[in-house]
Amino acid sequence: MKKVFILSKRNIALLGLGTVGKVVYEEINNNVSYVLVKDITKKRNIQLSEKIITNDFQEIIQDKNIDIVIELIGGENPAYNYIKKSIKANKNVITANKEVMGKHGKELLNLAEKNNVFLLYEASVAGGIPIISPLVNDLSANEFSSIRGIINGTTNYILTKMSNQKLELSDVLKEAQDLGYAEADPTSDIDGFDAQYKISILSRIAFKSDVSIDQIYVEGISSIKSKDFGYASELGYTIKLLATASINQDKNLLVKVHPALIPNHVPMSSVNGVLNAVEIKGDLVGTLWFQGAGAGAKATASSVLSDLIKIQNTEKKIDINRKNTYEITSMSSHICQYYLRLNVSDKPGVLAGIAMEFGKKNISISSVLQKDLHDDGSADLVIMTYPSLERDMQASIKQIKNLDTVFNIKGMIRVESYK
Ligand code: NAP
Ligand code: HSE
């Protein structure tokens, strides 16, 4: 049975009829007057009156009967432009667009406040998991010290398959795309930008700080190989793309996205497939854990439609108090353990040379695995360090790369601390 969201009004314009847009349309078609698409001639596997499909945004903006615009196009432009114009025309906006909210959220939220309309974006982070509304509303009495999570479904799906089935990234990407998880341009997922936009959105709310995209360290998963999962497992870890925002010892905010070694005994290590999970630490509430489908048409539609119900049921606009509370710090001051996979000459003294370079920066080695002797006489060497400063590690890596006995540093993964 179809759910009735907005009684009998036809007051909604839907921008985008792709993976998510189709499910949203099916749930609220009685209330939709326009569906904006790129290609109006495209064959669509959905019942749709030809009268409502358009590629002319001007029609929508000029129609006074439209008071809600749902943006499900994706990407920065024209989505940003359409959202801005809708708000300026005093229309409420719902979006699932993390790129727009990550890059332009501050400006658009201010504009929405000024125009006294809603700009809701629950679906922009972690798909079906309600995370923005709890941070804005139910947890607003807290001061937060950290948010960390798996907030990209595509890469989590890929890493899970690489780990379980010993596949490489390129073997699994198409599957994630076919399932509707990936962005139109999947490099946004693979290179970590999608998670970067999402953690900037969460940071802005939780830490009341304007974290711009270029203040967030980002590293994607393209250097991870299936053999890294085997080595990590021997050391007691798995590998996840982790996004974190945390207050450091100097009371500064560090926001970053990178693959991380996660100890096998913590819950984050068993968040698999398209699932996302977010762990939040608040001074009053303690540690909270949110887990659920992080991508996919229905889960995402759940968040979009919940925003719609919120507009219907709430008279007052939500006021987010965004004052700059924290200084944003850079990655160079981060301290953690490191996993390094090197391709080295299989000769005595190799390890001593590497240890000497580490020693110059006070970096100590905690364990070593020597693996896979190759036909060319080289070998894989896996090194785990004790906690060290990022800037020291980067300086050591530069020196180690120059050693005659080291052919290549194939991978460096940071170890997430759960102490
Ligand atoms: P999608 O399948 O690529 O669909 C995009 C839709 O937008 C298509 O209908 C396309 O029209 C239309 N479109 C593209 N460019 C346009 C333009 N210039 N003017 C007008 N219409 C245009 O995207 P999606 O996966 O549904 O994602 C939509 C949004 O939800 C994105 O912001 C995405 O990041 C977000 N999101 C997606 C998921 C997920 O699991 N897929 C989860 C959470 C959030 P045509 O049909 O004519 O090509
Ligand atoms: N491409 C995104 C992901 C969609 O894989 O997480 C959900 O935001």
CB-based contacts of 231: which residues, under 8 Å, 6+ apart?
339, 341, 369, 371, 380, 382
Confirm whether 398 is a catalytic residue: no
| Closest ligand by atom to 176 CA | 2
pTM, two decimal places: 0.94
Ligand 1, from 24, 36, 37: best to mutate by most atoms within 8 Å of Cβ? 37
Contact 269, 179 (CB under 8 A): no
CA of 25 to the centre of ligand 2 (A): 20
Query: Measuring CA to CA, how many Å separate 200 from each of 67, 124, 149, 203, 395?
Result: 28, 11, 13, 5, 28
Q: Is the preceding omega at residue 259 within 30 degrees of 0, hence cis? A: no
- Separation of alpha carbons 113 and 298, rounded Å: 29
* Nearest-CA residue for atom 4 of ligand 2: 295
β-pairing verdict for 388-389 and 335-345: antiparallel
Task: Quote the pLDDT of residue 5.
Answer: 57
β-pairing verdict for 253-263 and 217-218: parallel
Query: In CATH, what is the architecture of 335-415?
Result: 2-Layer Sandwich (3.30)
pLDDT lower than 50: segments of the chain: 1, 4
For domain 12-120, the CATH superfamily is NAD(P)-binding Rossmann-like Domain (3.40.50.720)
Q: Which of 417, 395, 415 is closest to 259 using CA atoms?
A: 415
Task: Quote the pLDDT of residue 323.
Answer: 64
- The alpha helices in 169-288, defined as continuous H runs, are 169-178, 187-190, 193-206, 226-234
Say if ligand 1 is within 6 A of residue 323 CB: no
What is the residue whose two structure tokens read 């005994």?
Answer: 265
- Minimum-distance ligand 1 atom for the alpha carbon of 182: 41
Q: Domain extents for the chain?
A: 12-120, 132-294, 335-415
Phi then psi dihedrals of residue 297, to 5 deg = -60, -50
Q: Which of 239, 276, 269 is closest to 414 using CA atoms?
A: 239
Query: In CATH, what is the architecture of 132-294?
Result: 2-Layer Sandwich (3.30)
Catalytic residue among 91, 98, 198, 256: 198
Task: Quote the pLDDT of residue 398.
Answer: 96
